[in-house]
């Protein structure tokens, strides 16, 4: 018995000696302080001075002040930058570490990611946006097949570029069959008005030309396969998302709040009115949303449709030689922020997820979100 107590005592002493020699536990590294500024880039020009930007759920969130509300008390303020050069210009600013969060279309984001730019896709913002082919009112062009040999504007490197290639391919054509010209949206609209080009692939912002009687719609994706539409999202630089996840979460929640508000049919007229502050007639949005709800177009879900569109865009970018290198879409997506926003706002089941073809899923699951 005495011998056992002696052994026990010696073991205690040995343990104490080892503990005395072991270095004290190190405190956890301090978390980075909230940034004073979050720099948000938008692949679209603003209007006026100070800059006014109201388009989509992101524009609504800025106009309504919901992003500022979410950042209130955090010590961070939002600083906005708008790019006439769209996605390619945003990518240049990202490369130069001049932006923290960006709103841009799928193709330019994929091109940058494939080139090694480290970003995270954190929120779908605008899905199933339509593409329109506009021509002068008296043009003989009646559809895509009539574009062969014609002077056609295509804004290369944007999220319309890949759908346009797919639309052409569906009609047995490619860019090589056209006299393709790379104009931004404003330049294309001006050239179409002066008839310096025969046709232009544009978005809803161009429908004012139809209202003015200087153009007509020769083709649109309305009512057609959803896979021919455009998708856009909010991305964060990898470093910023890692260092300041709370700031990213706050911005994402502000945009989700705007999407929820815009999704209410009771707000449809006001939504269009706010969007029209960018200089677009109300009729443009009434035309663009003729057969769709706002709710469907501002869904923040990473559902099979959205994921499939980005995966298909990766394949298409390589097929049409618009990007080099592969992008693992599943690894690129960081859904923590939108999942947190949906949970905090009690909106987990508000939007209906879509399947890969854009049809509503009959059952919801975690993997479909």
CA distances to 113, 114, 253, 304, 307 from 324, in Å: 10, 6, 33, 24, 20
Write the burial class of residue 108 (CB in 10 Å: 0-12 exposed, 13-18 middle, 19+ buried).
buried
Please give the CATH number for the structural domain made up of 132-220. Answer: 3.40.190.10
Render pLDDT for 161-188 as a digit per residue (tens, 0 to 9).
989 999 999 999 999 999 999 999 999 9
Bridge partners, 29 (sequence order): none
Render pLDDT for 190-215 as a digit per residue (tens, 0 to 9).
999 999 999 999 999 999 999 999 99
Write the burial class of residue 69 (CB in 10 Å: 0-12 exposed, 13-18 middle, 19+ buried).
middle
What is the predicted pLDDT for the residue at 9? 44
Render pLDDT for 117-145 as a digit per residue (tens, 0 to 9).
999 999 999 999 999 999 999 999 999 99
Specify whether the CB–CB gap between 353 and 304 falls below 8 A: yes
What is the predicted pLDDT for the residue at 325? 81
Report which of 41, 112, 100 is spatially closest to residue 245, judged by C-alpha positions: 100
For 99, the 3-state DSSP assignment is coil
What is the predicted pLDDT for the residue at 10? 42
Segments making up each domain of the chain, as ranges: 37-127+230-368, 132-220
Report which of 5, 22, 53, 31 is spatially closest to residue 246, judged by C-alpha positions: 31
What φ, ψ does residue 184 adopt, rounded to 5°? -75, 175
For 363, the 3-state DSSP assignment is coil
Which of 220-229, 239-248, 347-356 bottoms out in mean pLDDT, i.e. has the lowest?
220-229
Say yes or no to pLDDT of 28 above 80.
no
pTM: 0.85
Say yes or no to pLDDT of 153 above 90.
yes
Rounded CA separation 175/187 (Å): 19
Give every CB contact of residue 26 below 8 A, 6+ residues apart in sequence: none
What φ, ψ does residue 41 adopt, rounded to 5°? -105, 140
Please give the CATH number for the structural domain made up of 37-127+230-368. Answer: 3.40.190.10
* CA of residue 299 relative to chain centroid, distance: 11
Question: Same CATH fold, 132-220 and 37-127+230-368?
Answer: yes
């Amino acid at each position: 018995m005495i011998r056992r107590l002696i052994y026990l005592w010696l073991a205690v002493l040995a343990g104490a000696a080892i503990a005395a020699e072991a270095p004290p536990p190190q405190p956890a590294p301090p978390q980075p302080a909230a940034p004073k500024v979050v720099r948000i880039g938008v692949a679209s020009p603003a209007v006026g001075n100070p800059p006014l930007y109201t388009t989509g759920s992101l524009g609504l969130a800025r106009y309504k002040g919901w992003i500022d509300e979410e950042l209130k008390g955090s010590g961070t303020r939002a600083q906005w930058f708008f790019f006439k050069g769209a996605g390619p210009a945003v990518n240049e600013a990202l490369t130069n570490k001049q932006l923290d969060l960006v709103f841009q279309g799928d193709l330019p984001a994929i091109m940058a990611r494939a080139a090694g730019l480290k970003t995270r896709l954190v929120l779908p913002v605008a899905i199933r946006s339509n593409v329109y082919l506009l021509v002068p009112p008296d043009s003989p062009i009646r559809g895509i097949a009539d574009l062969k040999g014609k002077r056609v504007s295509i804004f290369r490197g944007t999220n319309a570029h890949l759908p346009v290639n797919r639309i052409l391919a569906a009609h047995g054509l490619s860019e090589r069959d056209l006299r393709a010209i790379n104009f931004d949206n404003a330049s294309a609209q001006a050239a179409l008005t002066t008839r310096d080009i025969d046709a232009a692939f544009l978005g809803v912002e161009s429908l004012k030309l139809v209202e003015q009687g200087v153009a007509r719609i020769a083709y649109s994706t309305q009512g057609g396969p959803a896979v021919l539409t455009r998708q856009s999202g909010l991305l964060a630089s990898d470093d910023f998302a890692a260092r300041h996840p709370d700031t990213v979460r706050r911005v994402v929640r502000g945009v989700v709040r705007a999407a929820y508000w815009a999704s209410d049919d009771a707000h449809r007229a006001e939504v269009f009115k706010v969007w029209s502050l960018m200089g677009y007639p109300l009729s443009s949005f009434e035309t663009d949303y003729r057969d769709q709800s706002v709710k469907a177009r501002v869904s923040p879900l990473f559902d099979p449709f959205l994921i499939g569109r980005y995966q298909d865009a990766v394949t298409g970018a390589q097929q049409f030689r618009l990007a080099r290198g592969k992008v693992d879409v599943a690894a690129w997506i960081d859904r923590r922020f939108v999942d947190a926003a949906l949970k905090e706002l009690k909106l987990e089941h508000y939007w209906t997820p879509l399947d890969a073809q854009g049809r509503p899923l009959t059952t919801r699951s975690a993997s479909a979100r």
